[in-house]
Amino acid sequence: MIVYLLIFFILGSAIGSFLNVVSDRVTKGEGILGRSYCDHCKIPLATFDLLPIISFAGLGARCRYCKRKISWQYPIVETATAVLFSLAFFVLTSSGQLTIINLGYWLFLISVLVIVAVVDFKYSLIPTTFVFLASLVALFYAYFLYTPDVFLEHILAAFATSLFFLLIVVLSRGRGMGQGDIVLAFLIGMVLGYRGTAVALFLSFLTGAVVALILIALRKKKFGQTVPFAPFLVFGFLVSLFWWQQIINWYFGMLY
């Protein structure tokens, strides 16, 4: 098991490096193919400058050529993706659900969610093209792998969740949520169903509120100012994807 987890950690860090490129270039209207370059001096990077996590540490967080600081985004995304890939393998294996299809589906969802979180955190913008693609994949996954009643449940959860966020957008006149959150909410419902979605939304709003209060206490934000919400949705989504059943069992176990 340890060897496999290490393999998925290495794979995840490599994919995370690619997701950094996608997150940066998609917002600039650039193609995702082509050699990576320094954000400051624009010099193309050599292969040994692109080793996930290792290159950042080895270079002392500075570009080899212009000596300008490299953003911490790169090792954070690489490490987070590596951990998430390893977790996906571990959770699927532990629950007896490990198949090539399930594993590929989860790794694809994780990759899209990392892009969404990074782009929204940096630019307060949700790349809806990726979310639409993930929703389409989730729709086909549910159609072919779930029973008709479970498939219908996920469809209804997707529309109900997106309608809930649409109401927030309308009532707040776009100040509480953005239209991209509606699309992301549809994906959450499509993947998780109504029970998993309930857990995901609870965790999202809870962590969002806690972080907002901390930022206000630190005077980084003022009352009325918004923070990008997609990273919190992604956090709740991923925790629920891995453990929503355990969380619900624990919650009702506490009650009864």
Q: Per residue of the chain (256 residues), give pLDDT as tens.
A: 889 999 999 999 999 999 998 888 877 766 767 677 777 777 777 776 677 888 878 777 787 778 788 788 889 999 999 999 999 999 999 999 999 999 999 999 999 999 999 999 988 889 999 999 999 999 999 999 999 999 999 999 999 999 999 998 888 776 767 788 999 999 999 999 999 999 999 999 999 889 888 887 777 777 666 778 899 999 999 999 999 889 888 877 777 6
Take residue 102 and report the two structure tokens written for it: 């399930």
Who contacts 6 (Cβ-Cβ below 8 Å, separation ≥6)? Answer: none
Strands, DSSP E only, in 71-118? none
> What pLDDT was estimated at residue 196?
95
pLDDT number for residue 224: 63
Contact present, 81 and 19 (Cβ < 8 Å): yes
pLDDT tens digits, residue range 172-207?
A: 776 767 788 999 999 999 999 999 999 999 999 999
CB 39 within 8 A of CB 111: no
Question: Hey, CA dihedral for 14, 15, 19, 25, is it positive or negative?
Answer: positive
Rounded to two decimals, the pTM is: 0.91
